[in-house]
Amino acid sequence: MFINLFGKYLINKKILNDVQLQSIRKEQSRTRVKLGVIAVAEKLLTEEQAEEINRKQALMDKRFGDIAIEYGFLTLEDVAHLLDQQGNPYMQFVQIATERGYMTLAQIEDALRQYQEEHHLSEETMGGIKNGDLDVIIPAFVHEDEVKEAAGVAIRTLNRLISTDLWMGDSYMTEQLTCDRLACQDMEGGLEMTIGLAGMGNSLLVVADAYAGESFQTVDMDALDSVGEVVNIIDGLFATALSEKGIENMLLPPAYFDSETTLQGKEFAVIPLEIGQKPVMLVISFGSKLCFDGE
């Protein structure tokens, strides 16, 4: 999620353009970060020290880490830490962006500081964003305490079943939401609530296609049935979590809307998402049901 959160910020600030960001995104999945890049980013080495080790490596049949330890630049513990970071999304971004000349390390670090300040994020949250840790990221963007657990279940499920190419914006509360397509499901019993996925145009195809393993042409009732299956899985997982707390809930049949509809009722949470760069809204009503009121 790091490249989506930070990349969108860089685009909005006109630090990167769309073509540059897409090229980083395309390269990221096959990038193994060099230890020297990580060491400099982690402030364990200066750029000059990393370059010196690279020069020695060109003359020696030894790994970067072994040379760094041999010449006293790094400890064994330092190298172990760097190896753990090779799959880190932030480090992958740093290597690709700097090697392609899009940004220097100093520019990346400065932009990260500005991003952190503008979004009022803690050091712990920034660490989670760099590592792509959803358990840290989700509570930073979902501000309503009562829906954080349900939102966590939903977003982790989407990340697991649909796509790891996720972005999320700040949640907000509303009493009304108009959308073009919607699949939602009410729960009742110990707690009345609704979880749904809403989209504009054909944006929900990103969920329907991925889950069904086929390509729908439009978000019709068949496609919505696929989206509804995903919502049902989310609700089932959350109902299980509630049951472990002694709250028993029953899932009602999913409701599907294949034309413009407006959800209305007691205030509910909307979490803006992008899945595969397509806008999708996660809707969570806590304490009231929404689905059939939207018909």
Positive or negative, the Cα torsion across 40, 44, 45, 50?
negative
Which phi and psi angles does 142 have, rounded to 5°?
A: -100, 105
Encode pLDDT of 75-122 as tens digits. 888 888 777 776 788 888 988 999 899 999 999 999 999 999 999 999
CA 75 from centroid of its chain's CA atoms: 34
Percentage, residues of the chain above pLDDT 90:
54
CA 220 from centroid of its chain's CA atoms: 27
- The least confident of 15-19, 62-66, 227-231, 272-276 is 62-66
Tell me the whole-structure pTM to 2 decimals.
Answer: 0.80
As a whole number of angstroms, the longest Cα–Cα distance in the chain is: 72
CATH of domain 141-294: 3.40.1550.10
Encode pLDDT of 136-188 as tens digits. 999 999 998 889 999 999 999 998 899 988 999 999 999 999 999 999 999 99
Instruction: Extract the tokens encoding 265.
Output: 């009722």
Interatomic CA distance for residues 285 and 35, integer angstroms:
46
What is the rounded (10 degree) CA torsion for 242, 243, 248, 253?
Answer: 70
DSSP 59: H
The amino acid at residue 171 is: S
Instruction: Extract the tokens encoding 90.
Output: 């932030």
pLDDT tops 50 at residue 294? no
Domain ranges of the chain: 2-134, 141-294
Q: What is the 3-state secondary structure (H, E, C) of 28-49?
A: HCCCCCCHHHHHHHCCCCCHHH
pLDDT tops 90 at residue 59? no
DSSP 283: E
pLDDT tops 70 at residue 57? yes
